[in-house]
Structure 1
Amino acid sequence: MKITVMTADEQIITVDVDPHETVENVKALLEVEISVPLKQQQLLYNGKEMRNFEKLSELGVKDDDLVMMVSTAASTLSTNNLGFNPDGSAVNPEAFQQHVRSDSNIMAQLFQSDPELAQVVLGNDLNRLQEILRERHQQRSKLRSQQEEELALHYADPFDVEAQKKIEAAIRQKGIDENWQAALEHNPEAFARVVMLYVDMEVNGVPLKAFVDSGAQSTIISKSCAERCGLLRLLDQRYKGIAHGVGQSEILGRIHVAPIKIGNIFYPCSFTVLDAPNMEFLFGLDMLRKHQCIIDLKENLLRVGGGEVSVPFLQEKDIPSRFLDEERYSKQASSSVAPGTSGTTDRSNNVVPLGGQSSGGSRGDVAQGPVFEAKVAKLVELGFGRDAVIQALKLFDGNEEQAAGFLFGG
């Protein structure tokens, strides 16, 4: 490896040495190069004196590192001007900065090995220079400690349980680090933020950005958005209650049908209205299925009606910044109306399912007794298949009218 040695009289020498070479041998090599007797040399690395018997690898010296050399006659003066403190900062940062600036070779090496430090050396902020020097010292110290620990574990007693646990943890961490490096190289997109899916829609003639979420059971609209769209007058408060999920939101009721415009075609849509100021409009699975929507991630399109209308998902620059911050609230709201979590509340604050049932069961758990069979028979008489009828009744907690509307709408 190569190390750079800076002398007190601003002379720069680059020497090629073995990492396991002793300091004394390095001094002997320098004696030949610059004619300074070995006994008069004092080498400093990170502000600490390098003793003759120590090896470069033990001191943590690596390729392209900088070592300061002073003669014993001027050691005090040089240490005061160009030396380093125990924390890695320069004793005299201004003198150190001027010294490094004046040597084009050192600056060229810095720009290759540490561009950030090189830029700070060329700047005028000495405090920042000291911070960078301390950071580099801490990084080297941490790396040296890790290497020493790994070396100690290598020679640890194989019957020492604690040592074997540390070896196991070190092996596991090494695997994690290698996996991280592989991800950076082969799958860097995994570290980027994933922007959720938004499309332009009109609700009752009012344009807005709709968050498309196939993981949400119901289509959700906030009270403020419903009011802006002129739909609050249609709010059916018989369906109000408390939605429990990741968080808790108040269900103000339901708007049974209103027109939404996707592309140039109008579609009927129903909404669950939440008192959620941090979430505006969420296009959920109920309407995605009803209108046979296809989320085409290859073409970045939302296809509606089996493909009769296609609208592009919005790019990040087209999505209001507040929406990007509200995605977590939207997910919270969508999980709050997940199966078995939403319902109306009675005076004792018990949660019962939507649709007026009092059994306390969740959607999909509607009791299939005589009453349920009578509803199934009535809807089957209308020409629907039995399986579809049962599924619709379970979806709406046994509410016959809602199930019929769903079946007719599908």
Structure 2
Amino acid sequence: MKITVMTADDRFITLDVDPEESVENVKALLEVETSTPLRQQQLNFDGKEMNNSERLSSLGVKDGDLLMMLPLAQREPSNDLRFNSDGSAMNPKAFQQHIRGDSQLMAQLLQNDPALSQAILGDNINDLQNLLRERHQQRLELRRKQEEELALMYADPFDVESQKKIEAAIRQKGIDENWEAALEHNPEAFARVVMLYVDMEVNGVPLKAFVDSGAQSTIISKSCAERCGLLRLLDQRYRGVAVGVGQSEILGRIHVAPLKIGHLFYPCSFTVLDAPNMEFLFGLDMLRKHQCIIDLKDNVLRVGGGEVSVPFLQEKDIPSHIRDEERLSKQASLGQGSAPETSGAQEKTAGDRTSGLASDPTQGPDFEAKVAKLVELGFGREAVVQALKLFKGNEEQAAGFLFGG
């Protein structure tokens, strides 16, 4: 069909177009005829502006109809496309429509900035505003860094403060380069590591066991032991304090219970902790006793030198209430020592001493000699240091504490 376009300088241009042609393509033809850039054209039909994405037939344009072309430069200036001081758009709807109407700009955004292009094409204005604010902050931060670098270039090299700033800038540059290299060559280092869990049964009750070779003992919580019907076997003579990264109360010990891994049963002993956030931890004592192999290549735990293999659980199979691996690791990685409890008052006194001395950093040659002597007996250094501080440097009392009385 043929349509006629009247330009701002009263010229009439006849175009032969398809009824299904888009307005944008009509503007492209007019750009050739009039040398007016597509982005500076406004086409009107029946007094209404035609959007680039619309088709002539959907707008009711028929053979022989007249369109009006106005250059955008002649339109009254508008404040719709201005920005606020925080980088957000004053009129986000107008900003969104303006970008959408510029096909070339949208194509560039789709290629170079997918996040912004999706926000512009989306329906959530808040997402667009938040992204604009974020980009504004990024530009300000980049400008600040550039100004600092420029200031350092002209700074007095013999000034002490300037030297400190130059040194900090050089160090930060090295850190940034190291980070960029890691992103390129070792991106998995930035992903969250899923801890090692396997399915086990304790006394016939299925559990998700946290496998931790960094924990000295196999640990079960009081609530879990009760659920497994083992609390009646709790030997409270082994009550005390588990010392390591923080402290937890040891309620006692269950000396032996059946532990099913795969299709076989193994005898296992447990230390019972008052730890509601940790259910069951399979520690180094039982890993060694049953000759376990943590096979990360095949992602399995091999028990008995390989007679049983059970797969480590995927993240989706780990219950949400035990996914806080960092807290579990800190709570469970214990260098263990125990102090027999004879009365509630003594337990309170020991706790008071611990809290009072934990912050005492005083150390000397004699203190280090005592630490070395006790470490040679097989205890972890941190447990030894805490025990010595607990008993104010008394080597015999610390040794008794570590040996469990």
Q: TM-score higher than 0.5 here?
A: yes
TM-score between the two structures when normalised by the length of structure 2: 0.65
Query: What's the offset of the Cα at 1:363?
Result: 8.6
AA matched with 1:334: A
Q: Does 1:345 align with 2:344?
A: no
CA contact (8 A) 1:282 1:330 kept: no
2:125 and 2:107 map into 1 onto residues whose CA distance is 20
The residue that corresponds to 1:111 in the other structure is: 110
The residue that corresponds to 1:120 in the other structure is: 119
Secondary structure in 1 matching 2:278? coil
The residue that corresponds to 1:253 in the other structure is: 252
Query: What's the offset of the Cα at 1:108?
Result: 1.0
AA matched with 2:340: T
1:155 and 1:82 map into 2 onto residues whose CA distance is 38
Secondary structure in 1 matching 2:305? helix
The residue that corresponds to 1:301 in the other structure is: 300
User: Structure 1: where are the runs of 5+ without partners?
Assistant: 1-32, 36-69, 353-360, 367-393, 400-410
1:328 and 1:87 map into 2 onto residues whose CA distance is 37
Compared CA separation, residues 79 and 86, structure 1 to 2 (3 A): farther
The equivalences for 1:5-404 within 5 A come to 77-78=76-77, 80-325=79-324, 327-336=325-334, 338-339=335-336, 341-347=337-343, 348-349=346-347, 365=377, 397=403
Secondary structure in 2 matching 1:157? coil
2:327 and 2:140 map into 1 onto residues whose CA distance is 43
AA matched with 1:298: K
Compared CA separation, residues 209 and 362, structure 1 to 2 (3 A): farther
Query: What's the offset of the Cα at 1:305?
Result: 1.6
The residue that corresponds to 1:27 in the other structure is: none
CA contact (8 A) 2:202 2:260 kept: yes
TM-score between the two structures when normalised by the length of structure 1: 0.64
1:311 and 1:226 map into 2 onto residues whose CA distance is 23
1:195 and 1:87 map into 2 onto residues whose CA distance is 39
2:172 and 2:188 map into 1 onto residues whose CA distance is 22
CA contact (8 A) 1:199 1:211 kept: yes
What do residues 273-295 of structure 1 show as CA deviations (whole Å, max 9, x unaligned)?
A: 11211111111111111111111
1:217 and 1:315 map into 2 onto residues whose CA distance is 25
Secondary structure in 2 matching 1:80? coil
1:329 and 1:135 map into 2 onto residues whose CA distance is 32
CA contact (8 A) 1:89 1:134 kept: yes
Compared CA separation, residues 113 and 232, structure 1 to 2 (3 A): same
1:105 and 1:153 map into 2 onto residues whose CA distance is 40
Compared CA separation, residues 189 and 234, structure 1 to 2 (3 A): same
CA contact (8 A) 2:340 2:404 kept: no
Compared CA separation, residues 88 and 194, structure 1 to 2 (3 A): closer
Q: What value does the CA root-mean-square deviation take over the aligned residues?
A: 3.1
